[in-house]
Amino acid sequence: MARRRERKDDSRSRRTLQICILAAICFWMTESADVGISALFGTETGYQDNYKTIIQDGVRYINRNTTFLSEVHQLVFVDSSINSRPSNSVYVALQEGCDHVATSQVSALVLPKDRCTASDDIAGVLSHATNPVFSIDPGNLGSGSTAFKMQPSPEDMTSFYIDILSYYSWMNFTLLYDDGGAFANMEGVMEYATMNKWNISTVIIDEEFGNNIPMIEERGSKNIFIYCSSEIILRNTIDQALLFGTMGPAYTWMIGNMDMGIDRQFLEDLEDSNGFVTRFNMNYTREQQYALPTARNTPTGEWQFRERCAFDAVIAVGHGLRLYRKKRVADGNTGSSVLPGDSSMPACPTSSLVVNENDLTYYLKEVTFEGITGTVAFDDEGNRVNYTITVRSGQGETIDQIRGDWTQNIEYWEDKWNRKWESEGRFNVTTYNYGNDRKIKVVSIEAEPFLFLREKRAQELNQYNLRQSSTYTGNDRYEGYIMDLLARIKSNMRGIDFDYEVELVPDNKYGNKDVFSEEWDGMIGEVVRRKADIAAGPLTVTEERERHVDFTFSFMSGGVKLLLQNPYFVQHYIFRLTYPFGIEVWFINLIVFLLVALLLFLFNYFDPYEWQAAAERGETFEENGKNFNLKNSLWFCTTTMFLQSYDNSPRSNAGRTLTAFWWVFILVMVFLYLFNLTFFINSNKRLVHVKDAGDLLDQDDVVFGTVDEGSIYWYLYKSSIPEYNRIWQRMYSAQPSAFVKNTTEGVERVRNSNGFFAFLGEAGELDYIASKRPCNLMVSGGYIDRTTYALAVQTDSPLRDQLSYAIETLRDSGVLEDLQREWWERESEINNRYRCNNLTTWERQGVFSFTVNDLQGVYFMLLLGFLVAFIVFLLEVIFFAAFGGKSKGTRNKSRGGVSRNPPPPMSGGGGGPIGGGQPIGGGGGKSDGKEKMWI
Ligand SMILES: *[C@@H]1O[C@H](CO)[C@@H](O)[C@H](O)[C@H]1NC(C)=O
Ligand SMILES: *[C@@H]1O[C@H](CO)[C@@H](O)[C@H](O)[C@H]1NC(C)=O
Ligand SMILES: *[C@@H]1O[C@H](CO)[C@@H](O)[C@H](O)[C@H]1NC(C)=O
Ligand SMILES: *[C@@H]1O[C@H](CO)[C@@H](O)[C@H](O)[C@H]1NC(C)=O
Ligand SMILES: *[C@@H]1O[C@H](CO)[C@@H](O)[C@H](O)[C@H]1NC(C)=O
Ligand SMILES: *[C@@H]1O[C@H](CO)[C@@H](O)[C@H](O)[C@H]1NC(C)=O
């Protein structure tokens, strides 16, 4: 539908045009101060209108600006009437051209399509008869045409293609071409290829591209060079290739046509296809194009290259006329005589082709201007010179990446830009590099397993006799994830020379901005100061950094985690059992204990209802009088303190009241102690379960810290999340400082702090550290925060897109994942010795359960008890041996009692804490009962 409407519009505008042209011709007949320009069309119809419009646009452009011709002169388009007649031979065409020139007296002739059924290059033939003739077709190699050829000459194009193909090392490719003389334009390349033993197979484009696919596949090469003489066929072919998936990631395409018109939709399709495409553009300024009147109404939205050439041909004529007029004015001519019919093309055939100062051709060869096809200038043969071609290539989002420039004339380029052309040849590859050496400088940082120093690692391994150490140079000095990543990226950057040199960052820092001087240090600093092209390492993408460098796509996601000592390996303070109460509490409790014992003793001594008084009165056995002497009082307090039974309970109300309160006191104290105890024994395990910032803040047994002014430091400090600020605050206010100089120091501190220091760091790095010997560290379960790692490059560096593209390819193909697995979990001889993944179940369980370490205090207490008891035992034996006689009587006397009575309290010293073995509370009653029995 849309197309039909366009057609209708076309025909309407054609009618308008015809009227205009008629008017213009009438005008020209009456006013001879006008200069004519005309066009000859071939036999094919359908595109004339388009070109007529374009030429009209050019004419208007010239007439609007009086610097070209003066106010009194006009450039007019003289429509030729011969376009409808069949011209099937070059002679007929020549004849028609000459007739036209003779009758219309135009100053220049444009041939949008200088082909007929029997011949091409009609412009070339005509140029030997009369000039200036403008040819829009690319022309043939060595044709000897003196027409002004708007397209780069076939000779130049051959040399251009060879430069590009050699650069890409395309020695195997399939050449796709249409039948409109395209192959002839590739002949130079084919010759060169044969000479250099390249394998080029050719496929002529079928209207049904599907028919071409088997052929392309049969050729085996994934490199496809397409060149069509018709941009419409080119566009159709690519459209179909997109449809069939032949322009997918598996193929690499090079579009030989210059400046293929690519509209927005088409570009998006190309991006989506993810095929790697190389394109060529004449270097022109965009502004020029916006000056064009009908540019936006063309069917493709973008002008085809040929259309641009036609427009520039008219502008070239304008410039030629400007120079011509200038000369005439200099010669003293004025008014309308400045530009009479003198500038008309000479009638053909001319006997001599010598161009003199009265010919427009003479001036056209001096023209240089910036057109919409780049710099327009011609040499003596009418070939385009002094232009520059930009080579773009890429894939997906990076499809527009500039890959380099090719200039037709280095000398001109250097004059024009007043700069040195930085390549020996005409093709300057825009590899991003530093100074004169063609190597990309990569700055990195020692961070295992991202980057190891080989030598250091070898030494380390030598401890286990694993490897011979030797000296390394260049990039061999390093190994690790980053080195592997760079190597993979290099092999995935198609068409890019990517030689790199890795250096360690001198200050061993990742990169932070100094608050006062605003200077960056570390790897970021190196890139910001343009000392390095790439910063590679576990570099976190932060907003602040992003403002000063560009980051590529991330190659790894990570986060902030906590490195801590595995609780299993934490050595505890042996008397940690005492922690539940402060030292004053223990002290006061001791006093309370002694006081209660003393009071009981005193009650016993003075209270008439107590055991002693009762015994003296003979109300009970004599021995019972000693039930609450000082020693037994202490023992009473001891047994009740541990909620055990006792031998005797007080008899008096005073004693019993005191005892009751003592029991309350003991109950409270014991339960407080027990409840608190697990907390203290567990303290080192709490950090293991930290899942987020909140968990971290919820504990305060362990001090945590991070690298001073490292990325985490700043991230937490500047974060808008209050919890993160509080973490920072906590670290900042810690005494001694919780900040360390670098990760190594942090890890050391964790190892040496016996569980009282935890280190906040990047998960990837920490995981690796924790997997190394000695296996006494671990990483908390959850992420405090999530981050991503990416390579950093200088702002606006063209490397960014190239690297991003390579990284994406690596991610899609699973290489990144493999790399990560390899460096973190690889099963090599080295890592088996290093790795901590074969901790015993019990060791692993130590994170959750109580370990000997946790409970050693209890065991120690028991041991102490054994020891003291044994000493007392010895003392008693010695004492008995020394003073045996004295105590013998007492002992014998009491023997009878012993058999009938509960064991004498004397046995207490340190023997068995579980004296009577009777349940609490029942003791009193029972002993009362026994007592009654014996009364
Ligand atoms: C007219 O043409 C001259 C020569 O190309 C150019 O320098 C000038 O900017 C043009 N003026 C306008 C108004 O476009
Ligand atoms: C060309 O193809 C042949 C056979 O397939 C192969 O042996 C040769 O290496 C190829 N040449 C180049 C330059 O790739
Ligand atoms: C291409 O043209 C632009 C704009 O005129 C210019 O800045 C750039 O330097 C040119 N590039 C080359 C290689 O000539
Ligand atoms: C092209 O550049 C060369 C070198 O600068 C110069 O000598 C020549 O005049 C230029 N050609 C034209 C037509 O300006
Ligand atoms: C040539 O390449 C170098 C290095 O990539 C680049 O710095 C320079 O700008 C390029 N020159 C041109 C004219 O493109
Ligand atoms: C742990 O690793 C060491 C070193 O490779 C090995 O000798 C040992 O058998 C491993 N232990 C277990 C339980 O796998």
627-680 residue pLDDT tens: 888 888 899 989 988 888 888 888 888 888 888 889 989 888 898 888 888 777
What's the confidence (pLDDT) of residue 375? 92
Contact 565, 753 (CB under 8 A): yes
More confident residue, 494 or 306: 306
Homologous superfamily (CATH) of 28-150+305-377 is: Response regulator (3.40.50.2300)
What's the confidence (pLDDT) of residue 846? 67
What's the confidence (pLDDT) of residue 151? 93
Dist. CA 529–CA 795, nearest whole Å = 11
Torsion 895-900-904-910 (CA) sign: positive
More confident residue, 130 or 87: 130
Residue 158 has pLDDT above 90, yes or no: yes
| 838 ligand 6 Cβ < 6 A | yes
- What ligand has the least distance to the C-alpha of 390? 3
Cβ burial 298-336 (10 Å sphere, 16+ → b, else e): beeebbbbbbbbbbbbbbbbbbbbbbbbeebeeeeeeee
Residue 540 among known ligand-binding residues:
yes
Residue 83 has pLDDT above 80, yes or no: no
What's the confidence (pLDDT) of residue 27? 46
Each residue of 505-552: pLDDT tens digit? Answer: 888 888 888 778 788 888 999 898 888 889 998 888 888 888 889 899
More confident residue, 651 or 458: 651
Q: Determine the topology of domain 154-281+395-428 in CATH.
A: Rossmann fold (3.40.50)
Dist. CA 712–CA 691, nearest whole Å = 17
Alpha-carbon distances of 293 from 23, 110, 298, 866, rounded to whole Å: 21, 20, 11, 107
Contact 86, 43 (CB under 8 A): yes
More confident residue, 128 or 431: 128
**Residue 442 neighbours by CB under 8 Å, 6+ apart:** 486, 500, 501, 502, 503, 532, 533, 534, 535, 536
Please give the distance of CA 317 from its chain centroid, rounded to a whole number: 52
Residue nearest to atom 1 of ligand 3 (CA): 283
Single out the residue of 515, 510, 514 nearest to residue 540, CA to CA: 510
Single out the residue of 746, 705, 758 nearest to residue 727, CA to CA: 705
Mean pLDDT of 897-915: 41
Q: Residue type for 388, please?
A: T
Least confident segment among 1-5, 558-562, 632-636: 1-5
The pLDDT-based confidence of 1 (bands split at 50, 70, 90) is: very low
What's the confidence (pLDDT) of residue 287? 56
Mean pLDDT of 265-293: 77
Residue 411 has pLDDT above 90, yes or no: yes
Residue 885 has pLDDT above 60, yes or no: no
762: β partners: 560
Dist. CA 441–CA 50, nearest whole Å = 52
Least confident segment among 172-181, 479-488, 839-848, 856-865: 839-848
Least confident segment among 415-419, 688-692, 801-805: 688-692
Ligand 1 centroid from CA 314, angstroms: 15
- What ligand has the least distance to the C-alpha of 840? 6
What's the confidence (pLDDT) of residue 408? 94
Atom of ligand 2 nearest to the CA of 196: 13
Residue 916 has pLDDT above 50, yes or no: no
Residue 449 has pLDDT above 60, yes or no: yes
What's the confidence (pLDDT) of residue 19? 52
Ligand 6 centroid from CA 844, angstroms: 15
Residue 456 has pLDDT above 80, yes or no: no
Which of 168, 171, 172 to mutate to test ligand 2, by most ligand atoms within 8 A of the CB atom?
A: 172
Residue 711 among known ligand-binding residues:
yes
Cβ burial 702-730 (10 Å sphere, 16+ → b, else e): bbbbbbbbbbbbbbbeeeeeebbbebbeb
Using a pLDDT cut of 90, give the percent of the chain over it.
13
Residue 26 has pLDDT above 70, yes or no: no
What's the confidence (pLDDT) of residue 808? 87
What's the confidence (pLDDT) of residue 100? 84
Contact 254, 224 (CB under 8 A): yes
Two structure tokens written together for 751: 């190892």
- What ligand has the least distance to the C-alpha of 842? 6
What's the confidence (pLDDT) of residue 905? 45
Which of 281, 283, 373, 413 to mutate to test ligand 3, by most ligand atoms within 8 A of the CB atom?
A: 283
Residue 300 has pLDDT above 70, yes or no: no
Residue 829 has pLDDT above 60, yes or no: no
Mean pLDDT of 600-607: 86
More confident residue, 287 or 879: 879
Mean pLDDT of 176-185: 84
Two structure tokens written together for 533: 């092209």
| 837 ligand 6 Cβ < 6 A | no
Atom of ligand 6 nearest to the CA of 835: 2
Dist. CA 72–CA 866, nearest whole Å = 127
Q: Tokens 């014991």 belong to which residue?
A: 670
**Residue 614 neighbours by CB under 8 Å, 6+ apart:** 620, 624, 625, 651
What's the confidence (pLDDT) of residue 12? 55
Residue 827 has pLDDT above 80, yes or no: no
Contact 37, 108 (CB under 8 A): yes
Residue 56 has pLDDT above 80, yes or no: yes
Residue 413 has pLDDT above 90, yes or no: yes
Least confident segment among 45-49, 572-576, 729-733, 820-824: 45-49
What's the confidence (pLDDT) of residue 736? 83
What's the confidence (pLDDT) of residue 465? 55
Residue 350 has pLDDT above 50, yes or no: yes
What's the confidence (pLDDT) of residue 497? 59
Residue nearest to atom 4 of ligand 3 (CA): 285
Dist. CA 34–CA 926, nearest whole Å = 141
Mean pLDDT of 415-426: 89
The pLDDT-based confidence of 930 (bands split at 50, 70, 90) is: very low
Q: Tokens 């009362």 belong to which residue?
A: 928
Phi, psi values for residue 37, rounded to 5°: -135, 140
Two structure tokens written together for 2: 């849309």
What's the confidence (pLDDT) of residue 338? 72
Two structure tokens written together for 911: 């023997």
Q: Please give the mean pLDDT across all residues of the chain.
A: 78
What's the confidence (pLDDT) of residue 479? 86
